[in-house]
Amino acid sequence: MNNSLLHKLTIFILSLSFLTLTGCASRINIPARQDALAKQFPSAWKEPLTEVGTAAHLEELTNNQELKTLVQEALNANPNILATAYRLQASGLLLSVTSSAYMPSVSLGGSGTRSNASGNEADSYSSSMNVRWEIDLWGRLADLYKADKLSVAAKTEDYIAARNALVARVMQAWIDLSSRNLAVEIQHRRIEALKNAEDIVLDRYSMGIGKPEDLATAKANTEAARQVLVANMLDVTKSKRTMEILLGRYPSGLVSGETALPVMAAPIVALPSSVLTNRPDIKAAWFRIQQADTNVSATNKAMLPTFTLSADVGYSSNGFSSIGTGPSVWNLVGSLSQPLFMGGKLKDTAAASSEESKAVWEEYRQVVLNAASEVENALENETSLEKQEQFLKSSLQYARESRINYEQQYREGLTDILNLLTAKNNELNTEAELLAIRTSRTTNRITLAVAVGLSSEHNAPLIQAAKSSTKDTSHEK
């Protein structure tokens, strides 16, 4: 009779489970969506790189050893990077919270009492051990653990992306500092040129062939140039402090810099499809897609029956020293439970996780499209800046020739001081514009390198660890 009742109860629970499965939340078809997204990518970039790329890592963009040393210092000491690393370690440690659900839980207990009834004192001691283990029939616990692993994998890729961004920022800060040092040097030469012009005017004025207003104009231009120099020197100090903050140093404004722009090699630019596999931010978004989909599976399985084994073993004794030798009591219980009514909580939770997975997919798609846009923009910038640099080189040559001609004409009395000062300013302004274009082009190469997925060579252990920990959830095109 008992066996018949148990058989009927089992059939009833399994029937409820079948009905529950019919109400499960839907899961998105990730492979189909990813194939559709991949088909939007062209076979080649719209604006190919004219120079053959040679850099496979961010550090390979430059041969400047001092800059490479600063990059290493930043990776070791930047506060934001260190904080991200600690949080990543914390999330890895928290994996034990879900992995422990696979294992039985064991607890020990004990008690001691002393009673007095009608003058008769009695002692009683007991000890007990409880073991409880949920059997993962449907893989719900496995899903929860997998989701947590995917979360850690995503955070690892976020950390790698943050390290790459820091390397790029240090390199770009170095370029900015070098450029501002060069701007100061140009301004010094502007002041020197204006002072020379002022001396020429003064000589002519002393000989009685110059005009007072020419001398005043020359002095006014010199003083205005000195004011710009002071502002430029302040910019240099601010740029140094920016670099020091990136390095994790106190912003004293004392970091050294160069007065020459570092040469940046062209990065290796692979095909557009490689964007889906190289960039850590895309990998992170991909892991979050898998995590969200796994959560849908777990919340669906939460509506299925759970099977739990529990066991209790206990001893009791009148003396503490004989507590382990007294009478023992034990029981073993297997329980099967099926959620019936929880006000729609489980069903709504599963439906919400399904909608969340759709939102995470759209976020992934946005990350991929943004990545493609960054590469296309950086490649187009490279082409445009290269052309602008060539035009400005020619313009600077003509401006220099014009200034030389006006200097000769002014000495011969064939032109006035305003024309000479205009020619000098044109030359120096063109040189400053050329510096700005070269700075932008050098900086853009770093932007391009990050956009196409180049990583710091110091990230190799992290990348390998991420691959090893997510072999079953690897990113696929």
pLDDT above 70: residue 305: yes
The secondary structure of residue 331, as a DSSP letter, is E
Q: For position 135, what pLDDT does the model report? A: 81
* 3-class secondary structure per residue, 152-220: HHHHHHHHHHHHHHHHHHHHHHHHHHHHHHHHHHHHHHHHHHHHHHHHHHHHHHHCCCCCHHHHHHHHH
pLDDT band, very low/low/confident/very high, at 351 (cuts 50, 70, 90): confident
Token digits for 283?
């990998």
DSSP H or E run through 131: strand 120-135
Instruction: Please tell me which residue, 328 or 189, carries the higher pLDDT value.
Output: 189
Where does residue 61 rank: exposed (0-12), middle (13-18), buried (19+ CB within 10 A)? buried
Q: Of 209-213, 362-366, 368-372, 413-417, where does mean pLDDT reach its minimum?
A: 209-213
CB distance 336 to 305 below 8 Å: yes
pTM reported for the whole predicted model = 0.84
Q: Can you tell me whether residue 332 is helix, strand or coil?
A: strand
Average pLDDT, the chain: 84
Q: Helix, strand, coil % (nearest 5) of the chain?
A: 70, 10, 20
pLDDT band, very low/low/confident/very high, at 474 (cuts 50, 70, 90): very low
Q: How far is CA 37 from CA 224, 368, 372, in A?
A: 57, 9, 12
Q: For position 449, what pLDDT does the model report? A: 96
pLDDT above 70: residue 30: yes
CB distance 406 to 420 below 8 Å: yes
Q: For position 126, what pLDDT does the model report? A: 65
- Rounded Cα–Cα distance for residues 23 and 184 (Å): 71
Q: Of 192-201, 359-368, 403-412, 452-461, where does mean pLDDT reach its minimum?
A: 192-201
**Per-residue pLDDT tens for 366-404?**
999 999 999 999 999 999 999 999 999 999 999 999 999
- Rounded Cα–Cα distance for residues 421 and 262 (Å): 32
Domains of the chain: 27-104+139-304+343-473 (1.20.1600.10)
pLDDT above 80: residue 477: no
pLDDT band, very low/low/confident/very high, at 459 (cuts 50, 70, 90): confident
Q: Report the pLDDT averaged over residues 168-192.
A: 95
Residues in the chain: 477
Q: For position 384, what pLDDT does the model report? A: 96
Q: Report the pLDDT averaged over residues 338-357.
A: 79
pLDDT band, very low/low/confident/very high, at 359 (cuts 50, 70, 90): very high
Count helices and strands in the chain by DSSP H and E runs: 12, 4
pLDDT above 50: residue 209: yes
Percent of the chain residues topping a pLDDT of 90: 49
Q: For position 8, what pLDDT does the model report? A: 55
Pick from 10-14, 156-160, 435-439 the range whose average pLDDT is largest: 435-439
CB distance 109 to 97 below 8 Å: no
Q: For position 49, what pLDDT does the model report? A: 87
Q: Is the dihedral of CA 446, 59, 469, 156 positive or negative?
A: negative
**Per-residue pLDDT tens for 98-152?**
666 667 777 776 666 766 666 666 666 666 777 787 787 888 888 888 999 999 9
Q: Is the dihedral of CA 466, 59, 38, 26 positive or negative?
A: positive
pLDDT above 70: residue 269: yes
Q: How far is CA 460 from CA 59, 160, 305, 455, 457, in A?
A: 13, 10, 45, 8, 6
**Per-residue pLDDT tens for 32-75?**
998 999 889 998 999 888 888 899 999 999 999 999 999 999 99
**Per-residue pLDDT tens for 77-111?**
999 999 999 998 888 777 766 666 667 777 776 66
Torsion of CA 111, 97, 134, 345, to 10 degrees: 110
DSSP H or E run through 280: helix 280-301
**Per-residue pLDDT tens for 311-346?**
777 666 665 555 555 566 667 776 767 676 665 778
CB distance 340 to 16 below 8 Å: yes
Instruction: Give DSSP secondary structure letters for 377-428.
Output: HHHHHHHHHHHHHHHHHHHHHHHHHHHHHHHHHHHTTSS-HHHHHHHHHHHH
CB distance 450 to 58 below 8 Å: yes
